Amino acid sequence: MKRRTLLNAELSGLIAAMGHGDLLVIGDAGLPVPPRVRCIDLAVTGGVPGFFEVLDAVLSELVVERSAAAVEADPELIDRFSKRQIGVLERLPHEDLKLASRDARAIVRTGEFTPYANICLWSGVAF
């Protein structure tokens, strides 16, 4: 059995396979998943699992070079993002964030009901 924080086999395997510059999106329960983009659906019910619980588990294993969040997101949400190891945080209109998600290796769907609780994470390198 794995010791680390992230126990979901599908998500852990995806992170292990990511290369420099690959995109992973973590989204709220309502973020649309474009056709042909892999969806790792963790949502069980409203609020379960929460967005930040999933983000923190992912960040325990993923090196992030840069990130993006919606300009429409509440400032408190952005403040919570910036307190984490997410590289340089870019702000995009929500529609542009959804367009960027078309290039994602996967979108991780949480049970989060907070509007605009979505983040794009581009992987960096550990060396």
Residue ranges of the annotated binding site for substrate are 28, 94, 116-118
**41 backbone φψ class: left, alpha, beta (φ>0; ψ -120 to 50):** beta
Task: Please say if 45 is a catalytic residue.
Answer: no
Under 8 Å between Cβ of 104 and 24: yes
Which of 7, 20, 32, 48 is catalytic? The answer is 20
| Side chain identity, residue 45 | T
Which residues are known to be catalytic?
A: 20
